[in-house]
Amino acid sequence: MDDILHTVHISTDAIPSKDRLEVAREIFGRQMLRLELEETGAGPFRADLKLQSLAGLRIVSGPFSAARASRTRSLLSDGNDDIFLSVNHIGPFAVTQRDKEFILEEGESVFFSCADIMRAERSEGIATGLRVPRAILAKHVPNLEDRIHRLIPHNDEVMNLLRGYVQVFEKNEMVSPEFARLAVTHIHDLLSLSLGARPDFAEVARERGLSAARLRAIKATILRDLTQHDLSVAAVAAQHRLTTRHVQRLFENEGTTFSRFVLDRRLERIHSQLADPAQAHKSIGAIIFDGGFGDVSYFNRAFRRRYGATPSEVRHHALMRAAEIS
């Protein structure tokens, strides 16, 4: 299995305006995406897409001009029968397949099949598409054909967690093979849950993919709110509509605790600032307080235990090194 993330960035920006649509039709559409493209808006055509592929998963994302994309009968000859999830971010987006039409507002999603004729039409906007081999989902989702073609609302928990996972790939092209392998497995779990996995696999997927995605989202919230003095497990649990005990158990399953994770991230942030000569104009007390600590004595004990030095010593050594270099 290829666990390496392969990324191709394709953009029309360097192509003369008069040639953009034809190049996009042939290269982006027929060769790479296996779609027929038609421009439907005014002004020069523009696409700025990132195509990422791993074993068992392909992702396409980015802004696109107003256009119509069709999976025509002639293109079906490639034999691709993957399941495609279209996630709309900005701008209205219409998808038609098997006489069913879906109008996706921002944040909404829909599954469809690459094995059938399809038409998608959108105004200028941004979307993300996920392609997964049908066989992977069919193993876990009974009557798969009957479960695609349904609109998924913007507030669907599983889909929101899935979007957060996909953003890791979209923002970082240097993920490790180990992370890539786990992430793809978790994404498959979330897709299967969204489609309606059979009960025995749904239990596995909830304990594996859903739990991992929830923990990733909770950690992102903690990092966002790290400097807040009232950051607590109860407050974070409420934001994610989970019980306090559920959040605690997610960290315990990783061999740590909520409090330890928060403490370690705060100490790392403050150590980084103390070791940065550019932050020397800030008092150590202000850095500690702004880092989320109200009890200086507690902070000093935790900091020395973690780094084997006092905050003053860390700053002094950083300034000495900076002076030697200059």
Query: pLDDT tens digits for 102-159?
Result: 999 999 999 999 999 999 998 889 999 999 999 999 999 999 999 999 899 999 999 9
At residue 143, the pLDDT reads 94
Are the C-beta atoms of 170 and 133 separated by less than 8 Å?
A: no
36-39 and 48-54 beta bridge pairing: unpaired
Written as one letter, the residue type at 314 is V
Written as one letter, the residue type at 326 is S
At residue 45, the pLDDT reads 83
How far, CA to CA in Å, does 1 sit from each of 81, 118, 130, 254?
20, 30, 19, 26
- Judged against a pLDDT cut of 60, whether residue 175 lies above it is answered with yes
Q: Tell me what the mean pLDDT of segment 31-50 comes to.
A: 86
**pLDDT-derived band at 14, boundaries 50, 70, 90:** confident
Higher-confidence residue of 263 and 164: namely 263
Least confident of 73-82, 145-154, 170-179, 305-314: 170-179
At residue 177, the pLDDT reads 86
Q: Tell me what the mean pLDDT of segment 5-26 comes to.
A: 87
At residue 2, the pLDDT reads 67
**pLDDT-derived band at 222, boundaries 50, 70, 90:** very high
At residue 5, the pLDDT reads 84
For residue 263, count other CB atoms closer than 10 A to its CB. 17
The share of the chain scoring above pLDDT 90, in percent, equals 74
**Local structure of 219: helix, strand or coil:** helix
d(CA 121, CA 64): 11
Q: Model's pTM, two decimal places? A: 0.88
At residue 257, the pLDDT reads 98
- Judged against a pLDDT cut of 60, whether residue 37 lies above it is answered with yes
Give all domains of the chain, ordered by start, each with its CATH number.
6-224 (2.60.120.10), 225-326 (1.10.10.60)
At residue 29, the pLDDT reads 85
At residue 17, the pLDDT reads 85
pLDDT tens per residue, range 231-290: 999 999 999 999 999 999 999 999 999 999 999 999 999 999 999 999 999 999 999 999
d(CA 161, CA 168): 11
Least confident of 12-16, 104-108, 215-219: 12-16
**DSSP label at residue 29:** I
- Judged against a pLDDT cut of 80, whether residue 294 lies above it is answered with yes
**pLDDT-derived band at 325, boundaries 50, 70, 90:** confident
At residue 169, the pLDDT reads 83
d(CA 115, CA 78): 9
Query: What radius of gyration do the chain's Cα atoms show?
Result: 24
125-132 and 118-122 beta bridge pairing: unpaired
d(CA 272, CA 315): 10
**DSSP label at residue 294:** S
Report the mean per-residue pLDDT for the chain.
92
**Local structure of 241: helix, strand or coil:** coil
- Judged against a pLDDT cut of 60, whether residue 318 lies above it is answered with yes
